[in-house]
Structure 1
Amino acid sequence: MMAAKANPNSPFLSSSSSTHYSSFPFHQVSKKKVSFLVDFQCRKLVFACSEKPIPDSVNLDPSISNSGSGSSKNDSDGASSSPSNAIDFLTLCHSLKTTKRKGWVNHAIKGSESIADHMYRMSLMALIVGDLPGVNRERCIKMAIVHDIAEAIVGDITPSDGVPKAEKSRLEQAALTEMCKVLGGGMRAEEIKELWQEYENNASLEANLVKDFDKVEMILQALEYESEHGKVLDEFFLSTAGKFQTEIGKSWAAEIHLRRNSRLGN
């Protein structure tokens, strides 16, 4: 599917019309996330159907050819996305920068972190961690970057939403599939899907470590918000207690708890 095509089989669209959306069962942002793709399609049709472009103008979108196929040479071999697909995908990911993490919103934290903020510091964790036997650090960095990427469409679904774990995974899997279609498929899209699935299934040493980074980043952020806002955010520390899988995760979490206990003691 091209980046902007409204897929009638998408779980985010109703079957009756590409401009009407099914009510997303647990989140209210899906209409906005999908509607911009329809806008992209409209713009592409205008460009592709123009038979008399402005003389001497420069076509900055090589994905639009005389045939109207919307595919570049790179697309044909499935190795990479066209510039149009890439920009569509990156635009979709913009919401990761603007969507606040719901746990902090629920605790009335003003100016709380976004989903992208969370993933960025996890990536830094993977960057600075020492070499570990059998662990591919570069893969950990990539996994940290993509582990919450489906939230660009579904938003941040938390335990407080009451969504069963299996249903949450299904929604995110469907969103990831749509995002990879926006990217135009190919090697990079397959890599994103593979990294996401590996993390979701906790299926490797890298996934174990990045799962720990996810929890470490959350309790570190909780500690910072406690200090900045004068709050007590016990639930974030209680929800992660005893759930760290790696020695790195355990040691970093212990350091955060030590600093918290010292602050609370003072």
Structure 2
Amino acid sequence: MSRSASMTLEFLKLAGILKKTPRRGWELRNIQNPESVAGHMYRMAIMTFLLDENDSLDTNRCMKMALIHDLPECIVGDITPYCGVDPAEKKRLEIEAMERLAKLAGTAGTEMSELFKEYVSQSTPEAKFVKQLDRMDMILQAFEYEVQTDGTADLQEFFDRVEDKFSHPSMVSLKKEIAKQREEFHNNASSDKQ
């Protein structure tokens, strides 16, 4: 399916909304100037470069999936578990939004739609890995906000939510390193207050 310049422009305008869309979970925790949805997807995509060259995952597929996994949020917004939207309804809204975006993107939209459905269904090793990237970026960001607020932001719930959710060796290793640095940070912050 071909696309016109006006369709391409409309797609890009919609995607551009994510550059200014703050991640709702951080807003709900009163984080000042929280990261954008686009910033989150960008760091996830960068993480795919760090896959070991011997890894059997399709790095290119993972990168593309990371870049589009939250794309429907440019239409439906960042719906968190705390927004009161039933998970099945959230899924339906996001799939409809992705279909709209895919039509605007023409042939490229077909691939985007397929990657999105793969991610949602968690049907491949790549989709499962990208889900782990999503969670990893969340806890890394939570730790960064704890540091940014000198330890006044208590974001433990984000770490609790993903306690047993990492299986890929690189993600397990990163999670351990974040936990180590976080413990050191909080120990230092506690001793500074005494």
Counterpart of 1:135 (choices 53, 57, 61) is 57
Instruction: Give the structure 1 partner of residue 127 of structure 2.
Output: 207
* Secondary structure of the structure 2 residue equivalent to 1:244: coil
Flag the structure with larger Rg: 1
Paired residues of 1:126 and 1:140 also in contact (CA < 8 A)? yes
Instruction: Give the structure 2 partner of residue 67 of structure 1.
Output: none
1:263 aligned partner, one-letter code: F
Instruction: Give the structure 2 partner of residue 243 of structure 1.
Output: 165
* Secondary structure of the structure 2 residue equivalent to 1:113: coil
- For residues 102 and 167 of structure 1, the distance between their equivalents in structure 2, rounded to whole angstroms, comes to 18
* Sequence identity (%): 41
Instruction: Give the structure 2 partner of residue 196 of structure 1.
Output: 116
- For residues 68 and 123 of structure 2, the distance between their equivalents in structure 1, rounded to whole angstroms, comes to 15
Paired residues of 1:208 and 1:245 also in contact (CA < 8 A)? no
Instruction: Give the structure 1 partner of residue 41 of structure 2.
Output: 119
Pairwise CA distance, 1:222:
0.4
Paired residues of 1:96 and 1:151 also in contact (CA < 8 A)? yes
1:264 and 2:186 correspond: yes
Deviations 1:25-53 (A, max 9, x none): xxxxxxxxxxxxxxxxxxxxxxxxxxxxx
The CA RMSD over aligned residues, in Å, is: 1.2
Pairwise CA distance, 1:132:
4.4
2:127 aligned partner, one-letter code: A
Counterpart of 2:73 (choices 151, 157, 160) is 151
Pairwise CA distance, 1:133:
3.7
Runs of 4+ in 1 over 6 A off after TM superposition: none
Paired residues of 2:48 and 2:62 also in contact (CA < 8 A)? yes
TM, length-normalised to structure 2 = 0.92
Pairwise CA distance, 1:128:
2.1
TM, length-normalised to structure 1 = 0.67
2:134 aligned partner, one-letter code: D
Pairwise CA distance, 1:175:
0.8
- For residues 131 and 102 of structure 1, the distance between their equivalents in structure 2, rounded to whole angstroms, comes to 35
* Secondary structure of the structure 2 residue equivalent to 1:111: coil
Counterpart of 1:220 (choices 122, 140, 160) is 140
Paired residues of 1:212 and 1:244 also in contact (CA < 8 A)? yes
Q: How many residues align?
A: 186
Structure 2 segments unaligned to the other structure (5+ residues)? 189-194
2:92 aligned partner, one-letter code: R
1:234 and 2:162 correspond: no
Paired residues of 1:131 and 1:137 also in contact (CA < 8 A)? no
Structure 1 segments unaligned to the other structure (5+ residues)? 1-77
